[in-house]
Structure 1
Amino acid sequence: MSSIPKVTIIIATYNRAPFILEMLQSIHKQTFLDWEALIIDDGCTDNTLEVISPILQQEERFHYYSRIKSYTKGTSGCRNYGLDIAKGDYIIFFDDDDVAHPQNLELCVIELSKDEISFCRYIRTSFFGDFDYSFDYSKEYVSFYIDVNDIEKVLKYELPFNSCAVMWKKKCFKNSRFNEDISYADEWELYTRILSQGIKGISIEKCLFYGRKHTDSITGEFIRNNLNRKTSYYKAILLVLGNLKEKKLLSYSLIRHFIIMSLGFKEYNLFSKIIIILDLSQYKKLKWQLFYVLLPLRLTVYKLKKRIIKK
């Protein structure tokens, strides 16, 4: 291995003493060896450092940093700090409470060795409680290419782009960073922004990452209607719309999708903000306003039809 690693793993951490060691151990067991792992402490107040100190001393490829004040507190700030000090040609973000498949880095690096490929996406699944370490080590899998034409699938979660389910060539972040004003859907906003630049990647149909489900996770907070997380999602939606509008990538179905989403953000007046961003003609504006007004009724009828069909 050279002094400059091929892969940089960036792990933002905050008060994950019960889980983080299992994450680091899964990195230590990777079949691909040429990596560095940057652990960015976001101001932990528990005994995280005490828990991971033995593995830090044992393995020199792990590097521990405290987030510096020039980066905003939160996952986005920590990841941006990690990006700015990363040495690897390839970048991947792991969460501090999950488990990575032993072949995660190996298979992604193989795919990224192709010149035309800028990122490698793979399958991520979830687990509760104790993790089952029965891994599938097969290298046989189906793959397909992803480009700007797949943005709609990504935004609709038909093609999930979880932060821990993509390895990127570092060049993808040359002029792109996480928005530190948002603490939820930050990767959703950034990754679609990168995709909108016209890069090409590949998706491999093999599970290489396992996300732990628990009530203290960021997603868990959003599900419980945490105000900060919901506000961040609202901000992310506006950023995504603004970027797609600028790049002329907004389709009718995407506009429809976001207007339907706006029903869940009435307290933010999201529908009106969307209409402003779209900068429509008066006719089209009235058309979407009518769609929005009738939307609750249409959704109710749709749900009733589904119930009748099930019976």
Structure 2
Amino acid sequence: MPKVSIIMATYNRSEYILESIQSILAQTYQDWECIIIDDGGTDNTLEILSPVLKHDIRFQYLVRTPNYQKGLPGSRNYGLDVAKGDYIIFFDDDDIAHPQNLELCVFELSDKQLSFCRYIRDVFRGDFVYNFDYSKEYTSFYIDSSDINKVLRNELQFNSCAVMWTKECYINHRYTEHLKYAEEWEVYARIITSVNKGISINKTLYYGRKHNVSITGDFGNRNLNSLSSYTDAIQLVIANLKNKKMLSSEIIRYFIQVSLQYKKFNLFERIINTLDLPKRQELKWRLFYAHLPLRLYFYVIWKKIKK
């Protein structure tokens, strides 16, 4: 049985996927399987991958079945259901993994008290420069459920493809398949508040390719489907924390502030309905929301004066 299951969803990325696969073949740690899930692409991805698939049985190429919704979450869930490894990691079909990625994560997770290993993800445009730092000296720190505020605010970012998880993390958790943006953020919030702790190492082990055709780009360009997905994810995160009795006033305040930007999606009322508070507490948050634009206005003025 492989120690690590690499899950790679792909969709019409024949231009880049082979370079991503080569970065997996270049790993210093070799006890892995790579499950490639095609989300119904129409290009020549399979043709390009055929020589690799024939010569290395560690690779599986599967087409997403109708049992899973079209999209990244559904494809990854299919991969999770097929995976056999003790550890789970997600790679994208256009990125580059550092050769020590698997080796260092597996080493850290040999501590059985840890459920995940987070690392640094850098970005690049154009051709990738293959100039890796092979040092094994780095600092680290632990992360547990008490850090969830930082995670939700992205003060402690959990980037896509920048975490290795133990298989236990995904026994009771799957991606929410109707989400087309923030699906990782939502499932990571569930996992982090369900496990003991993880470790974050200060070493770059992954390189994300930046280009215009991406889900993140859609969100930055205010694509309505991505914005709607984000509001759905917020509601799910709040419901999860409420059920676990981990929903602090700080988190509620933060998401109500965020809801000002999403009036089109009725986010504030959805938050209030999810909270299901006693009338007095509900009134408190309604008053907070009503006065929020004025408070933010004076806060901006105060910041300018302070400068």
Q: Normalised by the shorter chain, which TM-score bucket?
A: over 0.9
State the alpha-carbon separation in 2 of the partners of residues 304 and 122 from structure 1: 38
Aligned mate of 2:252, from 229, 232, 255: 255
State the alpha-carbon separation in 2 of the partners of residues 142 and 149 from structure 1: 20
State the alpha-carbon separation in 1 of the partners of residues 52 and 165 from structure 2: 26
State the alpha-carbon separation in 1 of the partners of residues 196 and 229 from structure 2: 26
State the alpha-carbon separation in 2 of the partners of residues 157 and 182 from structure 1: 19
Aligned residue in 1 for 2:18: 21
Question: Can you list the C-alpha shifts for 1:67-90, whole angstroms capped at 9, x where unaligned?
Answer: 111111111111111011111110
Aligned residue in 1 for 2:65: 68
State the alpha-carbon separation in 1 of the partners of residues 304 and 46 from structure 2: 52
State the alpha-carbon separation in 2 of the partners of residues 154 and 140 from structure 1: 25
Shift of the alpha carbon at 1:289?
A: 1.5
Aligned mate of 2:91, from 76, 91, 94: 94
Check conservation: 2:9, 2:93, Cα contact below 8 A: yes
Aligned residue in 1 for 2:167: 170
Alignment map for 1:143-162 (pairs within 5 Å): 143-162=140-159
Alignment map for 1:297-308 (pairs within 5 Å): 297-308=294-305
**Pairing 1:182–2:184 present:** no
TM-score (norm 2): 0.96
**Pairing 1:57–2:54 present:** yes
Structure 2: gaps (5+ residues) = none
Aligned residue in 2 for 1:292: 289
Tell me which amino acid in the other structure corresponds to 1:209.
Answer: Y
Aligned residue in 1 for 2:207: 210
User: Which shows bigger deviation, 295-304 or 25-34?
Assistant: 295-304
Check conservation: 2:115, 2:195, Cα contact below 8 A: no
Structure 1: gaps (5+ residues) = none
Alignment map for 1:185-196 (pairs within 5 Å): 185-196=182-193
State the alpha-carbon separation in 2 of the partners of residues 306 and 19 from structure 1: 45
Shift of the alpha carbon at 1:169?
A: 0.7
Shift of the alpha carbon at 1:100?
A: 0.7
State the alpha-carbon separation in 1 of the partners of residues 67 and 240 from structure 2: 26
Tell me which amino acid in the other structure corresponds to 1:79.
Answer: R
**Pairing 1:113–2:76 present:** no
Alignment map for 1:256-275 (pairs within 5 Å): 256-275=253-272
Alignment map for 1:30-45 (pairs within 5 Å): 30-45=27-42
Tell me which amino acid in the other structure corresponds to 2:274.
Answer: I
Question: Can you list the C-alpha shifts for 1:10-32, whole angstroms capped at 9, x where unaligned?
Answer: 00011111211111111111010
Identity %: 62
State the alpha-carbon separation in 1 of the partners of residues 136 and 97 from structure 2: 16
Aligned mate of 1:46, from 32, 43, 57: 43
State the alpha-carbon separation in 2 of the partners of residues 156 and 253 from structure 1: 11
Shift of the alpha carbon at 1:308?
A: 4.4
State the alpha-carbon separation in 2 of the partners of residues 209 and 116 from structure 1: 24
Would the alpha carbon gap of residues 252 and 66 (structure 1) be closer, same or farther in structure 2, given more than 3 Å must change? Answer: same
Tell me which amino acid in the other structure corresponds to 1:42.
Answer: D
Question: Can you list the C-alpha shifts for 1:235-283, whole angstroms capped at 9, x where unaligned?
Answer: 1111100010011101111111110111121111110111111122323
Question: Can you list the C-alpha shifts for 1:84-108, whole angstroms capped at 9, x where unaligned?
Answer: 1111110001111111111000000
Tell me which amino acid in the other structure corresponds to 2:54.
Answer: Q
State the alpha-carbon separation in 2 of the partners of residues 125 and 298 from structure 1: 36
State the alpha-carbon separation in 2 of the partners of residues 54 and 300 from structure 1: 60
State the alpha-carbon separation in 2 of the partners of residues 145 and 240 from structure 1: 22
State the alpha-carbon separation in 1 of the partners of residues 26 and 85 from structure 2: 19
Over the residues paired in the alignment, what is the CA RMSD in angstroms?
1.3
State the alpha-carbon separation in 2 of the partners of residues 174 and 123 from structure 1: 25
User: Which shows bigger deviation, 281-290 or 69-78?
Assistant: 281-290
Shift of the alpha carbon at 1:58?
A: 3.3
Q: How many residues align?
A: 307
**Pairing 1:246–2:243 present:** yes
State the alpha-carbon separation in 2 of the partners of residues 53 and 305 from structure 1: 61
The SS at the match of 2:120 is strand
State the alpha-carbon separation in 2 of the partners of residues 308 and 44 from structure 1: 54
Alignment map for 1:5-20 (pairs within 5 Å): 5-20=2-17
TM-score (norm 1): 0.95
